[in-house]
Copies of this chain bind each other. A is one copy, B any other.
């Protein structure tokens, strides 16, 4: 059933252009660990999420971004994480240290979106994202992509969608 949920949300992320190719990853909290998408898997296709224990070895097939998911679960009460590569969010993160939405939904859902530094897959990025997620539910890794933490995969996806919507509007506003 978890498979179906991952695929359902993955298809929405792909349809909205929030991920492309086989980029991005997702996870859901379990008992003593979390289920995460496999490395290099297409989020819009059926996959078999891998269980990563909080204490113990990390399976080789787990997404290489597992450290960030791990840190978010340790530092927040969230139960699901979505990482995507939305083009406007990534672009804004290259020129700002925080994103402040101008549209109503952004103001309600993610009024301040922090931008943090760190190389993809590194422990530094994981720590920075984990810390930032204590304050907001969506964070942008500079030049890389969004990490959204929710109660469910749906909520994490919706935060991602709202963030990109806000970033797109800000980008267009800058050119009017």
Contact = CB atoms under 8 A, between A and B. Distances in A.
Interface of A: 14-17, 20-23, 85, 87-88, 90-92, 94-95, 102-105, 107-108, 119-120, 141, 143-145, 154, 157-158, 161-162, 165, 168-169, 171-176
Contacts of A17: 16
Copies in the complex: 4
B94 A102 contact: yes
B172 A171 contact: yes
Nearest to A108: B120
Given A105-B144, A143-B103, A94 B173 contact: yes
A16 B22 CA distance: 12
Contacts of A85: 105, 165
Contacts of A173: 91, 94-95
A33 to B, nearest CB: 27
Contacts of A175: 171, 174-175
